[in-house]
């Protein structure tokens, strides 16, 4: 499409990031979103939904390769893993500090005797 000309509805482009976009009556949209709405959901995507590619290939627009998922569901699992690891680290630090405190308390009782 030459610069300065309006794109026709249905025209497609592959973006630099690999996503295919399609011109709709409302503007440019990700083609995988349009396909998921038309072929899988049969309704518009909701704000808390996203479309993923099962095989990771952004150009594989086959309906079997598209997965509609809730936003944040995987993020919550990732965040939980981070929090649990931090708890393990803090518990280990607690044990070390208690050992130091016990050692200091034992050392000070020896010097007083």
| pTM, entire model | 0.61
28-61: pLDDT as tens digits: 999 999 999 999 999 999 998 999 999 999 999 9
Can you spell out the DSSP letters for 18-39? Answer: S-EEEEETTEEEEHHHHHIIII
């Amino acid at each position: 499409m030459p610069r300065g000309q309006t794109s026709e509805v249905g025209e497609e482009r592959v973006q630099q990031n690999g996503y295919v976009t399609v011109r709709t009556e409302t503007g440019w949209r990700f083609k995988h979103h349009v396909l998921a709405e038309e072929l899988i959901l049969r309704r518009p995507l909701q704000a808390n939904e996203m479309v993923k590619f099962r095989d990771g290939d952004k150009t594989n627009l086959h309906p079997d390769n598209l997965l509609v998922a809730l936003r944040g569901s995987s993020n919550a699992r990732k965040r939980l893993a981070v929090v649990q690891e931090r708890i393990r680290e803090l518990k280990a630090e607690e044990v070390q500090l208690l050992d130091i405190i016990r050692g200091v308390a034992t050392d000070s009782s020896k010097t007083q005797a």
